[in-house]
Amino acid sequence: MFSLKKSILVSNVLDPLTRDPIDLKMVYERLFKENRYESIETRLIKNQQLIKCFNKLRTARTSVTYYITGDLTRNNLSLSTVNCKNRIKAIDYCKESLKDAQKTNCNYMGIASGRIEENALLNLDLFVDSMNEIMHWIEKKGLGIKLAIEPLDQYAHKKNVVGSLDMTCRLINKLENLGWNENHYILTWDSAHVALNEDDFETSIKSLSKYIYKVHFANAVLDKSDDLYGDYHIDFKKGFMDLKCARRILQVCKKYINHPIEVSCEVREKNIDHCWGLEEELYEFLNEAMNI
């Protein structure tokens, strides 16, 4: 049955407070004490003291998602590259990250496909091979973690293999032919990525409804002549995202999706003194958006 769960993207909204383990410990203490969110999405926790703290604080109702997309990019690794050695290293990095994620009973591991090289369809096949190997490994190890694949923008900025609705549907078909479904992986649907790919929101949600378990309200400037054109995790002051747009997205989700979805706002804060102010603003935005 369709329902909405509030989620917070810690590594965006509270980004300046995630750099120091002491600050991050205080972040998790506050979030779990207030208990306003049913889902936490953040960077992978590797610090042993933080792992102990997180496990002690975490409530039974809280879903946890770790994103390693940025880690792969910073390490110049790709799950879809034609460079065989690089792709193997990327797969191994994912496996090691999944081992770390299990220490806090993670529910989802968030990843993206990687940038397009010369042949996007070849890159797609290689990404499918990577997903197939990783999901077989997850099953073999009995980790119980699902992959959360996030289609990024395919043309505008980050130029990822899996971005547009067409390429995302191709990915799903290829994975289904290998026996993988929503019991093994989900999709994170991001409004900025869909808009930058110039895909229609309703068509996208309808086509991907079986796999959409996460929705990110993300904003973007769509004017190609503007310096801010692209995927920059900007606030909701300039661009297309507003309360009306967010409500419309959730109304369409309600129309086509038959399971609970986790909903969050993706805005990256840079001012450490405004982190909790932004968190409060976006929490109220979620409250109002969910009133559909």
**3-state SS string over the chain?**
CCEEEEEEEHHHHCHHHHCCHHHHHHHHHHHHHHCCCCEEEEECCCCHHHHHHHHHHCCCCCEEEEECHHHHHHCCCCCCCCCHHHHHHHHHHHHHHHHHHHCCCCCEEEECCCECCCCHHHHHHHHHHHHHHHHHHHHHHCCCCEEEECCCCCCCCCCECCCCHHHHHHHHHHHHHCCCCCCCEEEEEEHHHHHHCCCCHHHHHHHHCCCEEEEEEEECECCCCCCCECCCCECCCCCCCCHHHHHHHHHHHHHHCCCEEEEEEECCCCCHHHHHHHHHHHHHHHHHHCCC
Q: What proportion of the chain, given as a percentage, has pLDDT over 70?
A: 100
Beta bridge partners of 185: 147
Measured distance CA(93)–CA(230) in Å, rounded:
28
User: Span 216-244, mean pLDDT?
Assistant: 97
Into how many domains does the chain fold?
1
How do residues 144-178 score in pLDDT, each as one tens digit? 999 999 999 999 999 999 999 999 999 999 999 99
User: Span 125-145, mean pLDDT?
Assistant: 98
pLDDT of amino acid 60: 87
User: Span 27-51, mean pLDDT?
Assistant: 97
Contact 209, 255 (CB under 8 A): no
Find, among 195, 175, 171, 174, the residue nearest to 183 by Cα: 175
Please, which pLDDT band fits residue 181 given cuts at 50, 70 and 90? Answer: very high
Give, to the nearest 10 degrees, the angle between helix 120-141 and helix 84-102.
40
If you average pLDDT over every residue of the chain, what do you get? 97
pTM above 0.85, yes or no: yes
Contact 113, 162 (CB under 8 A): yes
Please, which pLDDT band fits residue 2 given cuts at 50, 70 and 90? Answer: very high
pLDDT of amino acid 165: 98
**CATH number for the domain that contains residue 23:** 3.20.20.150
Please, which pLDDT band fits residue 285 given cuts at 50, 70 and 90? Answer: very high
pLDDT tops 90 at residue 74: yes
Q: Largest alpha-carbon pair distance within the chain?
A: 49
pLDDT tops 90 at residue 39: yes
Residue type, 134: I
Contact 50, 104 (CB under 8 A): no
- How many Cβ atoms are within 10 Å of 95's Cβ, its own excluded? 15
Beta strands at 260-266 and 3-9: parallel, antiparallel or unpaired: parallel
pLDDT of amino acid 251: 98
Q: Which domain holds residue 224?
A: 3-289
Please, which pLDDT band fits residue 203 given cuts at 50, 70 and 90? Answer: very high
pLDDT of amino acid 254: 98
Measured distance CA(189)–CA(204) in Å, rounded:
9
Contact 285, 217 (CB under 8 A): yes
Give, to the nearest 10 degrees, the angle between helix 243-256 and helix 275-289.
50
